A = this chain, B = another copy of it.
Amino acid sequence: MDLLEYQGKQLFRAHGVPVPDGRPAATVEEAVEAADELGYPVVVKAQVLIGGRGKAGGIKVAGDRSEVEAHAGAILGMDIRGLTVHELYVERASEIAEEYYAAILLDRTAKKPMAMLSRMGGMDVEEIAATDPNAIVRIHVDPLLGFSDFHGRRLAFEAGIAGDVVRPVSVVLAKLYEAFAEEDAVLVEVNPLLVTADREVVALDAKVTVDGNALYRHPDTATFRDVSAEDPQERMAKERGLTFVKLDGDIGILGNGAGLVMSTLDVVAQAGGHPANFLDAGGGSKAEAIVDAVEVILSNRNVRAVLFNIFGGITRCDEVARGLVTAFGQLDVKVPFVVRLDGTNDEEGRRILAEANLPNVTVEKTMDGAAARVVELARSAEAVS
């Protein structure tokens, strides 16, 4: 789960990572009030989960109240690369002397946390890597031993940052690691990590991704979820416990197991089709879950045909068939369905579908055959519409 800048900074504060004073604001009035409290100049920042806010006009310095009003008004409701701005963060402006880059993340390959530091902050880390790969120092940390002082020193000395801030930057790195470990984060990124004109080290931005599986340990963080920024269809799926990602095609996809669903998307694409979503009904999908899944898939008006690709293991094909029959009874289904049932109780499942004799439902035996069929049906629907 990705956190907004101000949420990440809230975690930073709790672990002693220095950040400029700031307040979140959802309206122009709140923004002005925050700025008045903080003192001018301030920076008004769009809170959206996407990079490039600055270039898109989502970050503006305001020297007085009227500028805050103008900027807050302009940024609230702004569309930044497809996301609408619903919240602002108003922050004391800082005088910049140096900009570094710092991050702690989970390195899946080494299966260890990795700490990174670069003296070339303020630009994308990919850009730093492209400009000068040696400018990014990377150190693995033993997760049982934790972050020791020498890790911070090594990063600071090897990154070649200014000598007078080696110690405070090392301390910030240790606190970032603490936040990473204690908040169950998989990514903690600060870009830029600022040295101010007064040689204070502060985190000017905060990009934090926490592990959704560990939210039960962090009730405060769990409340951070910014539902307003989510796609309504994805929110609907999440509320029903389904793993769902919206795509831009016209073929609704349901499968059981993430790998099989990904494979189904691939096979449909190879057959010339365009998937409208990724939906994993999960292992052991029960009839109710299938009804929920059908409702979520059909809530996307672009969908012209739907493919069910089930390989029964724990999931029983008869349960899926029953769920589909129930869904057709409860919902007004107007698009054709292709259903491929294989594995546990597949014959029983196909028998249930045959007996129900649902309109517009084709049963196929193989995955490739089912993919070809659904692509064909989607094309016909397109031709008709």
Contact = CB atoms under 8 A, between A and B. Distances in A.
A143 to B, nearest CB: 9
Interface string A137-149: 0000000110000
Contacts of A144: 144-145
User: Copies per complex?
Assistant: 2
Contacts of A145: 144
A191 B144 CA distance: 32
A144 B144 CA distance: 6
Interface in A138-194: 144-145
2 contacts: A144-B144, A144-B145
Interface in A114-156: 144-145
Nearest to A143: B144
Interface string A196-212: 00000000000000000
A177 to B, nearest CB: 16
Nearest to A145: B144
A144 to B, nearest CB: 4
Nearest to A142: B144
A144 B141 CA distance: 14
A147 to B, nearest CB: 14
**Shortest 2 CB-CB contacts between residues of A and residues of B:** A144-B144, A144-B145
Nearest to A144: B144
A348 to B, nearest CB: 42
A142 to B, nearest CB: 8
A364 B145 CA distance: 52
A187 B200 CA distance: 42
A145 B144 CA distance: 6
A66 to B, nearest CB: 50
A144 B145 CA distance: 6
A251 B144 CA distance: 51
A144 B143 CA distance: 9
A23 to B, nearest CB: 33
A224 B324 CA distance: 70
Interface in A41-86: none
A144 B148 CA distance: 13
A148 to B, nearest CB: 12
A145 B142 CA distance: 12
Interface in A75-99: none
